């Protein structure tokens, strides 16, 4: 067993033009002062991190890593959530997802996709140059608009979707394989990879690619009413990253999983700051230790109620208190009678 690394924090929800969140230096100091040991870095804002430079220049990567380390922090992983979303976009979502793309490729789905693929390839090399072994992204979605089967899906639609999704991602997975980095899909609503079944369909299409791994985030499974503990039993060998995020699901006679088009505050299922939701983190951290998870426990703060700075401060302590320092001996070793072949044979009645 291995003691999890942490606490880490995903910076995406905190980056802004207001101090201390407006520079990488000041946000590092803020995170360290709260008790975090690592930061997970979004890569869509070049003022914080230039993913192309990190891919093409080992010097830039070394200098950047050195800067983070100078604050007593480690880089846990890089994130390309927004770029990964653009690898596969159904035309129904073109206008909305253009917001994730640079101006030069907006209103041009083909160019936007090519840009996104290149970003993922940069992410592979940047991760290698930083000495990281895992990276997180979204799968994108070609058929999320059919998630509820009405009207009836035409025969073969699902198979065609996952074949195309695999065609788009296989070259990217190969790029990650070449540099020895796991590509972890965050299983998430709005993505074609949104639960275990869809992940397995994708895995089959990419020939069980060794780099097609998972980021585990139980909050998304609370909102789906999916057994988030058994999920670890099923997929622990593929789980290479961990977002520690809480959620709650409180259905009523008026609203359930679909949320009634309400905003986050009014939805039956909503994300919460750590400790304010329904996720059993004692059980999760126990399972992660049991299955010898070797990565980081990283706070992803999302909550419609609590202030983010309070969520971060409380989250650092929450994760630290839940990380299990694994034992190096059995609890009943004190009562051991010792053993040898002769004693074993006597106990078994063989001598």
DSSP summary character for residue 5: E
Confidence of residue 347 (pLDDT cuts 50, 70, 90): confident
Residue count of the chain, please give it.
351
Which two structure tokens, joined as six digits, stand for 303?
């909550």
Distance CA 122, CA 55 (A): 5
Q: Residue 267: pLDDT above 90?
A: yes
pLDDT score of 348? 81
pLDDT value at 337 more than 70: no
Nearest-angstrom CA–CA distance, 320 and 301: 15
Q: 3-state class of 215 per DSSP?
A: strand
Question: 351 or 166: which carries more pLDDT confidence?
Answer: 166
Q: Are strands 5-10 and 38-42 parallel, antiparallel or unpaired?
A: parallel
Which residues on neighbouring strands pair with residue 212, listed in sequence order? 183
Q: Read off the pLDDT of residues 41-97 as tens digits, 9 standing for 90 and up.
A: 999 999 999 999 999 999 999 999 999 999 999 999 999 999 999 999 999 999 999
CA distances from 243 to 6, 144, 293 (A): 11, 23, 13
Phi-psi region of 316 (alpha: psi -120 to 50; beta: other; left: phi over 0): alpha
What is the pLDDT of the chain when averaged over all its residues?
A: 96
Buried b (16+ CB within 10 A) or exposed e, 138-177: bbbbbbbebeeeeeeeeeeebeebbeebbebbeebbebbb
- Model pLDDT for residues 305-321, shown as the tens digit of each residue: 999 999 999 999 999 99
Confidence of residue 331 (pLDDT cuts 50, 70, 90): low
pLDDT of residue 329: 76
The pLDDT value recorded for residue 253 is 98
Residue 227, C-beta contacts closer than 8 angstroms, at least 6 positions apart: 221
Give CA–CA dist 62/149, Å, rounded. 49
Per-residue model confidence (pLDDT) at position 346:
81
pLDDT at 330 > cutoff 80: no
List, for residues 98-109, the tens digit of each pLDDT value: 999 999 999 999
pLDDT at 61: 98
Residue 152 clears pLDDT 90, i.e. is over it: yes
* pLDDT tier at 133, thresholds 50, 70, 90: very high
**Could you tell me which of 138, 157, 155 has the C-alpha nearest to residue 146?**
157
The pLDDT confidence band at residue 196, using thresholds 50, 70 and 90, is very high
Q: What is the pLDDT of residue 344?
A: 85
Q: What number of other Cβ atoms are within 10 A of residue 20's Cβ? A: 16
Q: Which of 61-75, 142-156, 172-186, 327-341 has the lowest mean pLDDT?
A: 327-341
Residues 112-122: tens digit of each pLDDT = 999 999 999 99
Share of the chain above pLDDT 70, in %: 97
Confidence (pLDDT) at 190: 97
* DSSP letters spanning 324-350: ----SS-TTGGG-----HHHHHHHTT-
What local confidence, expressed as pLDDT, does residue 34 receive?
98
**For the chain, what percentages of helix, strand and coil (3-state, to nearest 5) are there?**
45, 15, 40
- Overall average pLDDT of the 228-248 stretch: 98
The domain limits of the chain are: 5-347
Six-digit token string for 150? 């009405």
For domain 5-347, give the CATH number. Answer: 3.20.20.150
Give the mean model confidence (pLDDT) for residues 193-211: 98
């Amino acid at each position: 067993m291995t003691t999890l690394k942490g606490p880490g924090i995903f910076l995406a929800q905190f980056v802004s033009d207001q101090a201390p969140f407006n520079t990488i230096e000041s946000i590092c100091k803020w995170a360290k002062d709260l008790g975090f040991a690592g930061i997970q870095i979004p890569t869509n804002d070049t003022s914080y991190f230039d993913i192309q430079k990190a891919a093409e220049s080992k010097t830039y990567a070394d200098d950047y890593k050195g800067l983070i380390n100078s604050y007593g922090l480690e880089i846990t992983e890089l994130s390309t959530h927004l770029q990964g979303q653009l690898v596969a976009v159904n035309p129904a979502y073109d206008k909305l997802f253009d917001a994730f793309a640079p101006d030069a490729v907006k209103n041009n789905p083909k160019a936007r996709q090519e840009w996104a693929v290149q970003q993922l390839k940069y992410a592979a090399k940047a991760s290698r140059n930083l000495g990281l072994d895992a990276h997180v992204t979204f799968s994108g979605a070609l058929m999320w608009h059919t998630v509820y089967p009405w009207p009836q899906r035409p025969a073969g639609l699902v198979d065609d979707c996952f074949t195309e999704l695999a065609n788009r991602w296989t070259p990217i997975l190969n790029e990650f394989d070449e540099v020895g980095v796991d590509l972890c899909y965050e299983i998430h609503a709005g993505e074609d990879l949104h639960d275990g079944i869809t992940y397995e369909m994708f895995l089959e299409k990419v020939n069980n690619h060794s780099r097609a791994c998972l980021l585990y985030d139980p909050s998304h499974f609370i909102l789906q009413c999916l057994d988030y503990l058994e999920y670890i039993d099923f997929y622990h060998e593929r789980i290479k990253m961990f977002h520690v995020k809480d959620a709650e699901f409180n259905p009523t006679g008026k609203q359930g999983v679909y949320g009634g088009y309400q905003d986050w505050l009014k939805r039956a299922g909503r994300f919460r700051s750590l400790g304010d939701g329904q996720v059993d983190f004692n059980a999760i951290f126990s399972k992660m230790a049991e299955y010898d998870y070797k990565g980081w426990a990283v706070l992803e703060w999302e909550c419609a109620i609590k202030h983010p700075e309070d969520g971060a401060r409380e989250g650092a302590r929450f994760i630290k208190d839940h990380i299990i320092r694994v034992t190096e001996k059995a609890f009943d070793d004190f009562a051991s009678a010792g053993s040898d072949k002769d004693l074993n044979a006597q106990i078994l009645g063989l001598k």
